[in-house]
Amino acid sequence: MIANAKKKITDAALGAFGWLDDRFHVTEIFEHTAGHHIPKSTSSWFYVFGSATLLCLIIQLITGTLLAMVYVPSADQAYTTLTYLNYDIPLGWMLRAIHYWGSNFMVAIMLIHMTQVYLFGAYKYPREITWMSGVLLLLITLGLAFTGQVMRFDEDAYWGIGIGASITGRSPIIGGEAVQMLLGGPIINSETLSRFFALHVFVLPGAILAIIVLHLRMVLLKGINEWPTPGVLVNRETYDKHYATIIRKEGIPFTPHGIGKDLIAGAVVIGGILLCAIIFGPKGPLGPPDPTMIDAHPRPDWAFMWIFAVAALMPDWAETLAFLVIPPIAIAFLFALPFYNNTGEKHWSRRPFAVLTVLFLYLSLGLLTVWGFTSPWSPDMIAWRAAETPAPFVKAKTPLELQGLVVLQQKQCRNCHAIDGIGGKRGPDLADVGSRLTAPQLARQVIQGGGNMPAYGKNLTPYEVDALVAYMVSLHPPGTTPALDSAKPAVYPEENSKKNAKPEAAHGEAG
């Protein structure tokens, strides 16, 4: 009885599916998309980054749509909206955090995916358009990350827009008009935020979805690049036949046999985003977007931190070259790559130049990013009142030296100079300055300046200079002597002790 009922239900379900399949060609669509055959060698952990990036985009679209229901793209309400999301709406902070960390994961995973594709030679024949659409997706993703930072409309966003407008304004001929179009006027205001909101919510997501359709279509048409084998070269005349042979001999359907690692990687990505969201929460909003605040500490998100470092470190004459000449050349190089390096070896072990290029780029961008976060060239504007002085640098000081410490704090020297790592990093650490410079050298440096240090001669009284120098002379590691004046004969500790001992001895002998 039960068996007959099950059979009737099964037959009915199959009949319904057959009816739908006959109208919508579901089976045929599945076989040509999710069920398409891939080389067995591509069922590898190295091939999961593309699907992981797509998963991040889906998360961004869902969370972004929910955020857009509350967010008000207005200069006077955007900041309030975000604080409302953070503190008043239940789990609003979690929604923002998932969106923020989803963006970070998406950028990072896409960079890894592009690197893997480059090192595996997957841009070569016949996958030129697949690579070019991938470059477009990377650029749009970075555009989404930047416009997403602007949506916070805090001090980071305000100054980020300002720097972007400054770079745009350097464009020859169209610079002024381009800035006007970017900002919606001469200053950063509601029109500016509204334009970036339209870019972030409508233009860039629409563009990325269109390019993804093209990208996936090319993946289905030209196949997934097989695992490269050393010595197996790409030849335009023979590659298509070679790839067809691979699929015929060892091809497996992506679903269900090749999708396993992608599903695990997707679970790891979702877990990572949720974990970061719970532990670190959303970013900002930080300080309000007030250009009159002189102690603002704006920083871009990590994906653009290297640009921040380049802008801070390069000489003025090189800025136009760095921002308006090199980037278009680099992007053109990426688009042209599959045309001037279209055939030949794919395996990274036989392409040392490709490996060195990747290492150079990651080391350079990584180092610039670290410098951007630490920003040693920028004073810490609140260090003079917030940076504490370690106890060893206060104890056993004379009244004059302690007064010098007070001068050091009040004149905001700590904004640029740290003591034992605490304080600004623009100038050298003062923890051992007494063993490097003599009292006259320190006085000259304070009064006249030098290097990147301004002269403080007109801002300090002679007494303040004496106290400041006395304190800095006292800063030397335990067991070491203060710096000696090289113009005077060296006096070794033993001689110095004898010198000091003689008067006492003489005094003793005299009675």
Task: Read off the pLDDT of residues 101-122 as tens digits, 9 standing for 90 and up.
Answer: 999 999 999 999 999 999 999 9
* Separation between Cα atoms, residue 494 and residue 501, nearest integer Å: 10
- In the chain, which stretches have pLDDT less than 50? 499-511
Among 357, 351, 369, 417, CA closest to 389: 417
The pLDDT score that the predictor gives to residue 502 is 45
* Separation between Cα atoms, residue 135 and residue 424, nearest integer Å: 39
Q: SS3 for 296?
A: coil
Among 401, 413, 411, CA closest to 474: 401
- Give residues with Cβ within 8 angstroms of 403, minimum separation 6: 467, 471
Distances (CA, A) of 273 to 101, 249, 396: 6, 39, 51
The pLDDT score that the predictor gives to residue 294 is 60
Tell whether omega for the bond before 228 is within 30 degrees of 0, i.e. cis. no
* Separation between Cα atoms, residue 242 and residue 249, nearest integer Å: 11
Among 72, 301, 80, 321, CA closest to 197: 72
- Give residues with Cβ within 8 angstroms of 214, minimum separation 6: 129, 133
DSSP codes of every residue in 124-146: STT-HHHHHHHHHHHHHHHHHHH
Q: Where are the beta strands (DSSP E) in 164-306?
A: 251-253
* pLDDT tens-digit readout, 46-104: 999 999 999 999 999 999 999 999 999 988 889 889 999 999 999 999 999 999 999 99
Pairing status of strand 37-39 against strand 251-253: antiparallel
Tell whether omega for the bond before 256 is within 30 degrees of 0, i.e. cis. yes
The pLDDT score that the predictor gives to residue 388 is 86
The pLDDT score that the predictor gives to residue 200 is 96
* pLDDT tens-digit readout, 324-335: 889 999 999 999
Phi, psi angles (nearest 5°) of residue 207: -65, -40
* Separation between Cα atoms, residue 408 and residue 417, nearest integer Å: 10
**pTM for this entry:** 0.80
Phi, psi angles (nearest 5°) of residue 419: -120, 115
Other beta carbons within 10 Å of 476:
17
